[in-house]
A = this chain, B = another copy of it.
Amino acid sequence: MIDVTLLGCGGMMPMKDRWLTSCLLTCDGRSVLIDCGEGTQIAMKCASRRVKPVELICFTHFHADHISGLPGFLLSMGNEGRTEPVTIAGPRGLERTVRSLCVIAPALPFEIRFAELKDEQTLHCGELEIDFFKARHSIECIGYSVSLKRQGKFDPEKAVQNNVPKRIWSTLQKNGEVDYEGVHYTFDMVGGKPRKGIKVSYCTDSRPTERIAEGVKESDLFICEGLYSEADKTERAIKTGHMMFCEAASLAAKAGVRELWLTHFSPALTEPQEGLPAVREIFPNAHCGFDGKTVTLNFED
């Protein structure tokens, strides 16, 4: 299962009643944070989450509302006693940007590893697989999809057919491969086709594109920017590389996702839920994000 918490739902600047957009995904006690604007470490406290277990911090891009909270976040991880390495991922320019910001966090008690994402590449955090896709913003920007794969059902008949000793069945099911009495056994010798896993996608800030629809395809949950709700802001959204509510809904429909959460609301958008009826005409299972909105996604039975 994956626990998903939208820590904040604000865009552009933090407000007194709305944290900046960032998202925490946790699986089996290991966490991935996507984006870390000013106040994200406080938003974590508000959501009763600890910063220490975050293993991977992914940035969509380097505008301040997505990264300005990083030095404080890293220092708080140190204060909570983290000594294990932390991987930080993001578009080109990542290491230079992070090192520059960390002028005020010069002595962290853990190593930082950089994953500057250019070509196709999959990151891992425990069992989670994190892929990225290009977005279209005023500066280089990427979106992420976080997947938890699920192996096929164990098939005792197939195991017998393939002469897999019964005493290693459970270990093989758990670990995927086992060496036993000089033979290498793999899960495909005992299991059926992989079953549907869980996929969560996150995209902000961007115009809608085919590449995003492809990247977030068939997600169980798609968290997407909706900076503006009112149609008269469309021109501004186009000009500044942001997404409208209805564009996010069209993207969700095109990509065949199950559920859409809108986020990264403009500070001027005080009542985002007023835009929902129009959004639901395009994509019915759409919801407005809010600070601390949480869901636990499980494998299907």
- Set B14, B63, B72: member contacting A68, Cβ < 8 A: B72
Q: Which residues of B contact A39 (CB under 8 A)?
A: 14, 38-39, 42
Interface size on A, residues (CB 8 A): 31
The smallest beta-carbon distance between A95 and chain B, in angstroms, is: 12
Instruction: Decide if A71 is an interface residue (CB 8 Å cutoff).
Output: yes
Contact A79 B16 (CB under 8 A): no
Encoded as 1 (CB less than 8 Å from any B CB) or 0, chain A from 13 to 46 comes to 1111000000000000000000001110110011
Instruction: Decide if A64 is an interface residue (CB 8 Å cutoff).
Output: yes
The smallest beta-carbon distance between A16 and chain B, in angstroms, is: 5
Which A residues between 57 and 89 are near B, CB-CB below 8 angstroms?
Answer: 62-65, 67-69, 71-72, 75-76, 79
Q: Which residues of B contact A12 (CB under 8 A)?
A: 79
The smallest beta-carbon distance between A236 and chain B, in angstroms, is: 14
Q: Which residues of B contact A231 (CB under 8 A)?
A: none
Contact B42 A15 (CB under 8 A): yes
Instruction: Decide if A100 is an interface residue (CB 8 Å cutoff).
Output: yes
Contact A103 B100 (CB under 8 A): yes
Q: Which residues of B contact A104 (CB under 8 A)?
A: 62-64, 67-68, 97, 101
Considering only CB atoms, which chain B residue lies closest to A12 in the complex? B79
The smallest beta-carbon distance between A21 and chain B, in angstroms, is: 14
Instruction: Decide if A278 is an interface residue (CB 8 Å cutoff).
Output: no
Contact A76 B13 (CB under 8 A): yes
Q: Which residues of B contact A160 (CB under 8 A)?
A: none
Instruction: Decide if A1 is an interface residue (CB 8 Å cutoff).
Output: no
Instruction: Decide if A295 is an interface residue (CB 8 Å cutoff).
Output: no
Instruction: Decide if A168 is an interface residue (CB 8 Å cutoff).
Output: no
Instruction: Decide if A238 is an interface residue (CB 8 Å cutoff).
Output: no
Q: Which residues of B contact A105 (CB under 8 A)?
A: 64
Query: 6 A-B Cβ contacts within 8 A?
Result: A15-B42, A39-B42, A64-B104, A64-B105, A68-B71, A100-B101
6 further A-B pairs in the complex, CB-CB below 8 A; given A38-B69, A68-B68, A97-B104: A13-B72, A13-B75, A16-B46, A38-B38, A64-B71, A101-B103
The 5 closest A-B pairs by CB, nearest first: A100-B103, A64-B104, A38-B72, A16-B45, A100-B100
